[in-house]
Amino acid sequence: MSIFQLLARDGAARRGTIRLPRGTVQTPAFMPVGTYGTVKAMSPEELKTLGAEIILGNTFHLFLRPGLEVISAVGGLHRMMHWDRPILTDSGGFQVFSLGALRKLTEAGVQFRAPTDGHMVFLGPEESMQIQAALGSDIAMVFDECTPHPASYEEARVSMELSLRWAARSHAAYAGPGELFGIVQGGMYADLRRRSLAGLQRLDFPGLAIGGLSVGESKVEMMQVLDDLMPHMPADRPRYLMGVGTPEDLVEGVRRGVDMFDCVMPTRNARNGWLFTRDGVLKLRNARYEKDVLPPDPACACYTCQNYSRAYLRHLQRSHEILGARLNTLHNLHYYQELMAGLREAIAAGRLDAYADDFYRRRRAGSLVGA
């Protein structure tokens, strides 16, 4: 039985649910990123209040620090971080890809020096599956190679075929307790993406992700990949666009049939004083906000906007106060969760195009854009 239930469609967009033992996730969904077992500056209770039903953990970083021995000793990742809802863990493939020349890639896996202390580490499909099982992931991801950009057709083909072989090994090695998703690779080449998808479908994963995007390609290239690939994705499985992205990316991904997203953008940008609003991005370091008594977004119902001014948040940002990072993060995650809720409602009502038109109209007209 599929873990995905389709509730409504509007064009290619889907409104549905993903049923997991620790809870049901309403889709389309945005997953806040908790790299080291924490969504930076937020408590689990705050994440729940904001509407997060699933978060992301990072296999690579958690394996290196605090390590599986510590996580197992305290009862697993969920208990350690006091989060009783679903967690998706990535496989570590993207982080290994990011090491560049510091890694050695072979058919067996990847050898690299740990950025924490420099000791040599080997990570392959079997090791990644063992780590994610030990973490207690509700959704684990196959170990793959993130195809670099730019890549020639031959480079992308070789990388994609390696990822398919690793997917088969991941599938054979994974013993649960959660679901295991496959990852479509193939760079910017439509036929390679379709070949990757076909190979993954033969392994019958309960969900499929689109990897290798948001790695330096243009927005036009990203959307072209989705336009080519999404019509071929199975309708009865959740579809996850990895590491993406901006509010515009989420709207356009949903319009093309994506169900799940994750990105560090709302939390990282919050710590840098960039606040997402319905009218664009508010950059707190801009001098125009020095004495501004308005909240970041007067129409926003989040705790930050209900209680604090742009002037105060600017002061906290310039003073490097921890409270500023917390208030900014709370606002940005509220904005992202509200955006997803609005998209879900629009799909259910059959008015997604009107919702998207209003989304872009406000951002074009907004006085905050580029501020």
Give the residue numbers marked as catalytic: 90, 262
Q: Which of 145, 64, 139 is nearest to 108 (CA)?
A: 145
Q: Check whether 350 is labelled as a binding-site residue.
A: no
Q: Check whether 204 is labelled as a binding-site residue.
A: no
Amino acid sitting at position 109: G
- What phi and psi, each to the nearest 5 degrees, are found at residue 309? -95, 160
Q: Check whether 263 is labelled as a binding-site residue.
A: no
Q: Check whether 302 is labelled as a binding-site residue.
A: yes
CB 81 within 8 A of CB 88: no
Q: Which of 356, 358, 359 is nearest to 255 (CA)?
A: 356
Q: Check whether 305 is labelled as a binding-site residue.
A: yes
Q: Check whether 300 is labelled as a binding-site residue.
A: yes
C-alpha count within 13 angstroms, C-beta hemisphere, residue 345: 8
Q: Which of 240, 241, 228, 148 is nearest to 194 (CA)?
A: 228
Measure the CA–CA gap between 229 and 198, rounded to whole angstroms.
11
Q: Which of 198, 331, 115, 361 is nearest to 323 (CA)?
A: 331
CA distances from 74 to 29, 41, 55, 67 (A): 29, 22, 20, 11
- For helices 153-173 and 190-203, what crossing angle results, to 10°? 10
Residue 101 DSSP label:
G
Q: Check whether 90 is labelled as a binding-site residue.
A: yes
The tokens 């004083």 sit on which residue?
A: 273
Measure the CA–CA gap between 359 and 346, rounded to whole angstroms.
12
Q: Check whether 324 is labelled as a binding-site residue.
A: no
Measure the CA–CA gap between 115 and 252, rounded to whole angstroms.
35
Q: Check whether 4 is labelled as a binding-site residue.
A: no
- What phi and psi, each to the nearest 5 degrees, are found at residue 311? -60, -45
Measure the CA–CA gap between 340 and 321, rounded to whole angstroms.
30
Amino acid sitting at position 124: G
Known binding residues for Zn(2+) are 300, 302, 305, 331
Q: Which residues are annotated as a binding site?
A: 90-94, 144, 185, 212, 300, 302, 305, 331
**Residues annotated within a binding site for substrate:** 90-94, 144, 185, 212
